[in-house]
């Protein structure tokens, strides 16, 4: 048997002639291949696919999955990613045959139940956003950002201002997707600095806006886990300059039912269903990033959205729609899971989610504050950012702390982000963990801080208990081997 | 690794070495140490015209992606093509073999805004 670090690739299991499946005998007349595919488009050599039995495939991938860390295996405090537990009732609902066996080409009158679900989900998300109308189309948060900014541009264009409004203002603590999305729609990015409380520097913002301002992208609470108390002033500055406000909903888990983006003055919001609404995240995806918009932007939403008249549900194209942003109707199976989550918690339940998420983050932050530098010492929202600067003095970098945490069975928090904190460690526990888990994490972090002082080498050489030791990340990025070839 | 005395520096931890009206530009020892292992350098196009403070190259490390800002206005006259295959030169030899690009300087008076080695040493004392 191979040891855990010597797991062969599926190709290396291959044995000539071995198969997992045999086709039944052909019961229709055979057509010559040349009649179907012109000879010049036919491959000359058979593809080098692994020849393996079914049980080998199952054992191979089950074996790999057992080496993996996921939220069903252990704590996963990855800041700004909201790796909360995915309740199994969501899966039960998504597997109901009325949802699972639909075909996207079915006529609307045969899928009224599915459309009703989408319509209700649109309306719940609009309510949570405090905005007018929602599209469920975008397939991820960044896709929601792109869609939102396309709507922003369409709005300025309709007002004859697209030619002059070229700048998108983005805080220095922003998610990297924000400037990337702005670039994708051809906006120039202007970075606004943070003030000493970790919020947007309002004076700097005021000096930056003008007729060239298309809008501002902001997440509130921001990536430091801090609520920007100046949001009313910020929205006034942007709106008076003729710009629009985009709310990055990545941190919506902090505020559900307590404050609505629309009430803060935002015009466009995206929600990450795979974060806030407990659908699978990361490799377990796909994601879903619906956006809600204000009444004046609703005509520009992508098509189709689900509408209702006299109890009948149908697809509708908004009057000045930017068009399609995804094939068919968004990631429908994910929408079912998010709907199940909202319905199983209800209005008060969603508020409790945010309250507990914020409580958990503050509990961890205050218990870790004696051991790690806390750059912004104020109550946090659903996540907080520590700095590894004290450990750095002993030659232990934040990356080393993160690797050492793996030995304690914890997925590492987000590291080196946000960029405006030195050696940053960003922790988001979520509401779904028990006090026992939180205390275990605090214990591990304390122990690592002690090791960093007394025996820094132990931390710098971690991890020890994982299937593979520390990987050469630089080499993997510089000279990646992306596909298997017989020589390897 | 000491900061070379005959170079000029920026607050963004870039260095400038002026030779006959041309500014050779790279990042400092401090910068490469903060960034960690550099895995990719996006070099500017030859003859690109850049304004002082404008991002004109990108250094990507395992930790972060950082813009390289033009310390002075000018025209790109040379780029360090060795970095395409060996980005690690930025880590191994930041002040010499790891240089990034050369600009033909438009306005030599802009050099006065840059820091001397002594001033840059003092800046590093503070961080």
Query: What's the CATH code of the domain at A94?
Result: 3.40.640.10
Q: Are B95 and B29 in contact (CB under 8 A)?
A: yes
The answer to whether position B96 is within a domain reads: yes
The answer to whether position B113 is within a domain reads: yes
* Average pLDDT of chain B, as a whole number: 94
**Do A379 and A363 share a structural domain?**
yes
How many cross-chain Cβ pairs, A to B, lie less than 8 Å apart? 24
Instruction: Quick: pLDDT tens for B88-101.
Output: 999 999 999 999 99
Tell whether the model's pLDDT for residue A171 goes beyond 50. Answer: yes
**pLDDT value of position A282:** 74
Chosen from B37, B42, B89, B124 to mutate, greatest number of chain A CBs within 10 A: B37
The answer to whether position A83 is within a domain reads: no
**Do A11 and A147 share a structural domain?**
no
The answer to whether position A75 is within a domain reads: no
**pLDDT value of position A91:** 96
The mean per-residue pLDDT over the stretch A482-486 comes to 81
Q: Which residues of A touch B36 (CB under 8 A)?
A: 399, 474
**Do A336 and A388 share a structural domain?**
no
| Rounded distance between C-alpha atoms, residue A470 and residue A411, angstroms | 14
The CA-to-CA distance between both ends of chain B, in Å, stands at 17
| Rounded distance between C-alpha atoms, residue A371 and residue A442, angstroms | 10
- For residue A442, the domain's CATH number is 3.90.1150.10
Tell whether the model's pLDDT for residue A170 goes beyond 90. Answer: yes
Helix ranges, B1-127 (H): 29-35, 82-85, 89-92, 117-126
**Do A9 and A96 share a structural domain?**
no
**Do A341 and A369 share a structural domain?**
no
Report the chain B residue with the minimal C-alpha distance to residue A475: B39
Residue-number span of the structural domain to which B22 is assigned: 8-126
> How many angstroms away from the CA of A187 is the closest CA of chain B?
15
- For residue B69, the domain's CATH number is 2.40.50.100
ipTM score of the complex? 0.79
Report the chain A residue with the minimal C-alpha distance to residue B60: A477
Tell whether the model's pLDDT for residue A449 goes beyond 60. Answer: yes
The answer to whether position B1 is within a domain reads: no
Instruction: Quick: pLDDT tens for A298-329.
Output: 999 999 999 999 999 999 999 999 999 999 99
Q: Which residues of B touch A415 (CB under 8 A)?
A: 63
Q: Which residues of A touch B37 (CB under 8 A)?
A: 473-474, 477
Instruction: Quick: pLDDT tens for A185-225.
Output: 999 999 999 999 889 999 999 999 999 999 999 999 998 99
The CA-to-CA distance between both ends of chain A, in Å, stands at 21
The Cβ of residue A394 has, within 10 Å, a number of other Cβ atoms equal to 17
Strand, helix or coil for residue B66: strand
**Do A371 and A340 share a structural domain?**
no
> How many angstroms away from the CA of A298 is the closest CA of chain B?
36
Q: How confident is the model at residue B79 (pLDDT cuts 50, 70, 90)?
A: very high
Number of folded domains that form chain B:
1
Q: How many CA atoms lie within 13 A of B102 on its CB side?
A: 15
Number of folded domains that form chain A:
3
Instruction: Quick: pLDDT tens for A50-85.
Output: 999 999 999 999 999 999 899 999 999 999 999 999
| Rounded distance between C-alpha atoms, residue B61 and residue B41, angstroms | 9
> In chain B, positions 49-108, which contact chain A (CB-CB < 8 Å)?
60, 62-65, 87-88
User: Which of A151-160, B57-66, B116-125 is the least confident region?
Assistant: B57-66
SS (H, E, C) A172-192: CCCCCHHHHHHHHCCCEEEEE
| Rounded distance between C-alpha atoms, residue B122 and residue B127, angstroms | 9
> Encoding tokens for residue A60?
């191979």
Taking CA atoms, B49 is separated from B18, B41, B67, B73, B111, in Å, by: 18, 19, 16, 8, 17
Higher pLDDT, A419 or A264: A264
Q: How confident is the model at residue A1 (pLDDT cuts 50, 70, 90)?
A: very low
Is the CB of B11 inside 8 Å of chain A's CB atoms?
no
Closest CA to B103 of B54, B48, B55: B48
Helices and strands per DSSP (H, E), number in chain B? 4, 9
Report the chain B residue with the minimal C-alpha distance to residue A419: B64
**Do A286 and A402 share a structural domain?**
no
**Do A149 and A254 share a structural domain?**
yes
**Do A309 and A437 share a structural domain?**
no
Tell whether the model's pLDDT for residue A2 goes beyond 60. Answer: no
**Do A321 and A432 share a structural domain?**
no
**Do A394 and A246 share a structural domain?**
no
> How many angstroms away from the CA of B47 is the closest CA of chain A?
22
Helix ranges, A77-230 (H): 88-94, 97-100, 112-129, 141-158, 177-184, 202-208
**pLDDT value of position A483:** 83
> How many angstroms away from the CA of B126 is the closest CA of chain A?
14
Tell whether the model's pLDDT for residue A5 goes beyond 80. Answer: no
Please give the share of chain A, as a percent, with pLDDT higher than 70: 98
**Do A162 and A268 share a structural domain?**
yes
| Rounded distance between C-alpha atoms, residue A276 and residue A347, angstroms | 14
Residue at token pair 């996921």:
A70
* Average pLDDT of chain A, as a whole number: 94
Q: What are phi and psi of A6, to 5 degrees?
A: -120, 40
Instruction: Quick: pLDDT tens for A242-294.
Output: 999 999 999 999 999 999 999 999 999 999 999 999 999 876 679 999 999 99
- CB-CB: which of B38, B64, B87 is closest to A416? B64
The Cβ of residue A386 has, within 10 Å, a number of other Cβ atoms equal to 27
Domain boundary among A284, A314, A345: A345
Closest CA to A216 of A197, A195, A241, A194: A241
| Rounded distance between C-alpha atoms, residue B16 and residue B25, angstroms | 5
The Cβ of residue A429 has, within 10 Å, a number of other Cβ atoms equal to 28
The answer to whether position B76 is within a domain reads: yes
The answer to whether position B2 is within a domain reads: no
Residue-number span of the structural domain to which A28 is assigned: 4-67
Tell whether the model's pLDDT for residue A147 goes beyond 70. Answer: yes
**pLDDT value of position A3:** 53
**Dihedral sign of CA atoms A25, A30, A32, A38 in order:** negative
| Rounded distance between C-alpha atoms, residue A222 and residue A350, angstroms | 20
**pLDDT value of position A28:** 94
The answer to whether position A74 is within a domain reads: no
| Rounded distance between C-alpha atoms, residue A182 and residue A165, angstroms | 12
The answer to whether position A486 is within a domain reads: no
Closest CA to B68 of A260, A331, B87: B87
The answer to whether position A80 is within a domain reads: no
**pLDDT value of position B63:** 85
């Amino acid at each position: 048997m191979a040891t855990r670090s010597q797991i062969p690739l599926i190709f290396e299991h291959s044995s000539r002639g071995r198969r997992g499946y045999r086709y039944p005998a052909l019961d229709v007349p055979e057509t010559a291949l040349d009649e179907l595919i012109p000879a010049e488009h036919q491959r000359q050599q058979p593809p080098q696919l692994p020849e393996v039995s079914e049980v080998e495939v199952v054992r191979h991938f089950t074996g790999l999955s057992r080496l993996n860390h996921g939220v069903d295996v252990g704590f996963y405090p990855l800041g700004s990613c909201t790796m909360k537990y995915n309740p199994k009732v969501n899966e039960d609902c998504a597997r109901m045959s009325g949802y699972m066996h639909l075909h996207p080409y079915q006529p609307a009158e045969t899928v009224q139940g599915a459309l009703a679900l989408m319509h209700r989900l649109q309306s719940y998300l609009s309510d949570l956003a405090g905005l007018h109308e929602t599209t469920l189309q975008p397939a991820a948060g960044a896709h929601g950002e792109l869609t939102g900014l396309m709507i922003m541009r369409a709005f300025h264009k309709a007002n004859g201002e697209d030619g002059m409004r070229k700048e998108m203002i983005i805080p220095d603590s922003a998610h990297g997707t924000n400037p990337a999305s702005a670039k994708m729609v051809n906006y120039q990015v202007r970075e606004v600095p943070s003030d000493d409380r970790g919020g947007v520097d309002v004076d700097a913002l005021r000096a930056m806006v003008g007729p060239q301002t298309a809008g501002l992208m902001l997440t509130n609470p921001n990536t430091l886990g801090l609520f920007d108390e100046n949001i009313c002033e910020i929205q006034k500055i942007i709106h008076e300059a003729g710009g629009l406000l985009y709310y990055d909903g990545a941190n919506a888990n902090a505020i559900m039912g307590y404050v609505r983006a629309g009430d803060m003055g935002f015009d466009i919001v995206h929600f990450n269903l795979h974060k806030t609404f407990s659908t699978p995240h990361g490799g377990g995806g796909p994601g879903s990033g619906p956006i809600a918009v204000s009444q004046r932007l609703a005509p520009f939403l992508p098509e189709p959205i689900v509408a209702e008249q006299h109890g009948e549900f149908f697809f509708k194209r908004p009057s000045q729609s930017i068009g399609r942003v995804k094939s068919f109707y968004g990631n429908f199976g994910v929408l079912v899971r998010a709907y199940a989550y909202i319905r199983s918690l209800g209005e008060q339940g969603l508020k409790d989610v945010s309250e507990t998420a914020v409580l958990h983050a503050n509990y961890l932050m205050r218990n870790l504050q004696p051991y790690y530098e806390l750059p912004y010492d104020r109550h946090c929202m659903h996540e907080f950012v520590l700095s590894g600067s004290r450990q750095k003095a002993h030659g232990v970098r934040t990356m080393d702390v993160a690797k050492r945490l793996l030995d304690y069975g914890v997925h590492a928090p987000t590291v080196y982000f946000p960029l405006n904190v030195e050696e940053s460690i960003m922790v988001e526990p979520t509401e779904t963990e028990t006090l026992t888990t939180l205390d275990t994490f605090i214990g591990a972090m304390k122990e690592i801080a002690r090791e960093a002082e007394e025996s820094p080498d132990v931390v710098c050489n971690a991890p020890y208990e994982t299937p593979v030791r520390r990987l050469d990340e630089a080499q993997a990025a510089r000279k990646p081997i992306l596909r298997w070839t017989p020589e390897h | 690794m000491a900061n070379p005395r005959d170079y000029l520096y920026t607050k963004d931890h870039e260095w400038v070495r002026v030779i006959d009206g041309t500014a050779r530009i790279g990042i400092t020892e401090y910068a490469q140490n903060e960034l960690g292992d550099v895995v990719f350098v996006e070099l500017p196009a030859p003859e690109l015209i850049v304004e002082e403070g404008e991002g004109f190259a990108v250094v990507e490390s395992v930790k972060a992606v950082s813009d390289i800002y033009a310390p002075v206005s000018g025209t790109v006259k040379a780029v360090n093509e060795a970095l395409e295959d060996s980005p690690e030169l930025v880590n191994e030899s930041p002040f010499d073999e790891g240089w990034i690009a050369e600009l033909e300087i438009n306005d030599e008076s802009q050099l006065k805004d840059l820091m001397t080695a002594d001033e840059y040493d003092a800046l590093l004392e503070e961080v």
